[in-house]
Amino acid sequence: MRIAASADAVWSMVTDLPRMGEFSPENIGGYWLDGATGPALGARFRGTNRNGGKQWWTRVTVVQCEPGRLFTFDVRAPIGIRVSRWSYEITPTATGCLLAEHWYRVGNRFVRNFLGPKVTGRADRPGFNTESIEHTLAKVKALAEARSAAA
């Protein structure tokens, strides 16, 4: 998605995981763990998600962290099973930046067919995440551009 705001401004938004609930239709926030205070390679985070009456938490570990460019984290269920990888890729442009959000399903058959739908209430995780990504990118764009225009 093209955003009329600097790559650094967008980076600061997508790496502020405690505030991700402002953009995501499912994540409602969380907090950094083990003394971490922000994005860094190896930093851990506990995120909370909600779908209607269902609420669950996950553990996140940052696996790629290139300020202003790339932020990737692995997600594990509370029982330790790796379920996904999320990545934000930012490319500076002459008028701001391009932001891409990627989701990779890495859970095994048990996670995909039983655990995930039971815990989250979502039978079609790929379909929901496609819509979720569009929603998140649109929210980030709107806020980043509003902040950029006000500066």
pLDDT band for position 110 (50/70/90)?
A: confident
pLDDT of residue 62: 98
Question: What SS3 state is found at 78?
Answer: coil
Through-space distance between the first and last CA atoms of the chain, rounded to whole angstroms: 21
pLDDT band for position 34 (50/70/90)?
A: very high
Closest CA to 13 of 93, 68, 73: 68
What is the pTM (predicted TM-score) of this model? 0.95
Q: 30 to each of 5, 45, 49, 58, 92, how far by Cα in Å?
A: 26, 7, 9, 9, 28
27-41 average pLDDT score: 97
Our count of domains for the chain comes to 1
For residue 8, is pLDDT > 80? yes
Q: What is the mean pLDDT of the chain?
A: 96
Residue 130: give its domain's CATH number: 3.30.530.20
Domain that holds residue 125: 2-150
Name residue 104's beta-bridge partners: 85
pLDDT of residue 94: 97
For residue 108, is pLDDT > 90? no
Q: Give me the half-sphere count of Cα atoms (radius 13 Å) on the Cβ side of residue 61.
A: 10
